[in-house]
Amino acid sequence: MPKLRLPKIPATHITPETVWSSRRTWLRQAGMGALALGAGQIMPAWASKDAAAGAGSLADQLTSEDAITSYNNFYEFGTGKTDPYDYAGNMTLSPWSIRVEGEVAKPQVFDLDRLKKLAAIEERIYRMRCVEGWSMVIPWNGYSLSNLLKVVEPTSKAKFVEFTTAMQVDTMPGLRRRIINWPYVEALRIDEASHPLTTLVFGVYGKDLLGQNGAPVRLAVPWKYGFKSGKSIVRIRLLEEMPLTSWVDVAPEEYGFYANVNPQVPHPRWSQATERRIGGGMFAPKVETLMFNGYGDQVASLYAGMDLKRNY
């Protein structure tokens, strides 16, 4: 992945987060989720434990909607940070479905409507960190992927879960460049995929996902570097063997299968000890990167006994 460049977000793009509270009302009215929060309580259960591990409250640090939707990695639209903002609006989003197959007792195709109804869509405020050294705090709307996995009944051979993302040659100009052996593929171990924090995402700030964030459905895996969270998913395959994932294919020395956020394991070309919060302005101080991105309490046990320097 190219080196970190400074965000090109005009100050006028950064909206005050007071606007957000009215969107939360929208979220409730739209029935988009079990948002059982009073007006004053802006800290859902999802965030509170994590916040204790990090610097201050996640809700206080929420990245503005404009920053979340205008500074993105989505190489299908180009490698520039604003390419997804510029081009992803042309994506064909309907009809959409995800085919779930492989080591499952009940392989099937889920159309988007059915997917959205499989479980209650909740708000989950997650700190997300890109391998390039920038981060955001994003109020996602989604539910645990485990809800979907349960329906298809993984067999005893299912050890990995692979995510294949959309390849729309007509709408995605980045596909013409062979940066990646398209389509973009990511994967998790099945225990990682089944972890309650691993979220199938349909929205941000109470609105349907925009193309640049992976519309209409993507993953959010908050303790891993951003590239593990595939956007615009079309197929989920359960496998016995570890699949070859896109970034491991492109540069295995730089991007490992696990890609857990780990400030102690530098990327071969840069340190991973700190990060820059997008939307804080060009001169915002860097913040410390936390082990497992601050989610160690919840996920460290998944890696008990593993050498995380070797399994980067």
Ligand X SMILES: Nc1nc2c(c(=O)[nH]1)N[C@H]1C(S)=C(S)[C@@H](COP(=O)(O)O)O[C@H]1N2
| Count of residues that interact with ligand X, criterion CB under 6 A | 18
Q: How far is the CB of 102 from Mo ion (least distance, A)?
A: 26
| Count of residues that interact with Mo ion, criterion CB under 5 A | 5
Q: How far is the CB of 221 from Mo ion (least distance, A)?
A: 12
Q: How far is the CB of 78 from Mo ion (least distance, A)?
A: 15
Among 20, 46, 74, 110, binds ligand X (CB under 6 A): 74
Look-up: residue for tokens 């891993």?
224
- Scan residues 75-104 and list those touching ligand X (CB under 6 A): 75-76
Q: Which is nearer to ligand X, 203 or 214 (CB)?
A: 214
Among 133, 206, 226, 294, binds Mo ion (CB under 5 A): 226
- Scan residues 50-89 and list those touching Mo ion (CB under 5 A): 73
Q: How far is the CB of 267 from Mo ion (least distance, A)?
A: 11
141 binds ligand X (CB under 6 A): no
Q: Which is nearer to Mo ion, 122 or 132 (CB)?
A: 132
Which residues are within 8 A (CB) of 198 and not within 5 positions of it... i.e. 6 or more apart?
Answer: 144, 145, 146, 188, 192, 219, 220, 221
Q: Which is nearer to ligand X, 42 or 278 (CB)?
A: 278
Q: Which is nearer to ligand X, 75 or 223 (CB)?
A: 75
Q: Which is nearer to ligand X, 52 or 251 (CB)?
A: 251
Among 110, 143, 184, 202, binds ligand X (CB under 6 A): 184
Residue 200 binds which of ligand X, Mo ion, none (CB < 5-8 A, kind-dependent): none
Residue 293 binds which of ligand X, Mo ion, none (CB < 5-8 A, kind-dependent): none
- Scan residues 28-67 and list those touching ligand X (CB under 6 A): none
**DSSP codes, the chain:** -PPP------GGG---THHHHHHHHHHHHTT-S-----SS----HHHHHHHHHSSS-TGGGPPPHHHHHHS---GGG-SSTTHHHHHGGG---SS-EEEEEESBSS-EEEEHHHHHHSS--EEEEEEEE-TTSEEEEEEEEEEETHHHHHHH-B-TT--EEEEEE---TTT-GGGGSTTSSSSPEEEEEHHHHTSTT-EEEEEETTEEPPGGGTTT-EEE-TTBBGGGS-SSEEEEEEESSPPPPHHHHH-TTTS-SS-B--TTS-BTTB--SEEEETTS-TTPPPEEPPGGGGTHHHHGGGGTT--TTT--
Q: How far is the CB of 36 from ligand X (least distance, A)?
A: 26
Alpha carbon separation from 114 to 95, 110, 122, 167, 216 (Å, rounded):
12, 6, 16, 22, 13
Q: How many CA atoms lie within 13 A of 157 on its CB side?
A: 10
Residue 199 binds which of Mo ion, ligand X, none (CB < 5-8 A, kind-dependent): none
Residue 206 binds which of ligand X, Mo ion, none (CB < 5-8 A, kind-dependent): none
Q: How far is the CB of 117 from Mo ion (least distance, A)?
A: 30
d(CA 58, CA 48): 8
- Scan residues 228-257 and list those touching ligand X (CB under 6 A): 229-232
Q: Which is nearer to ligand X, 98 or 103 (CB)?
A: 98
Binding site residues, ligand X, CB under 6 A: 72-76, 128, 130, 136, 165, 184, 213-214, 226-227, 229-232
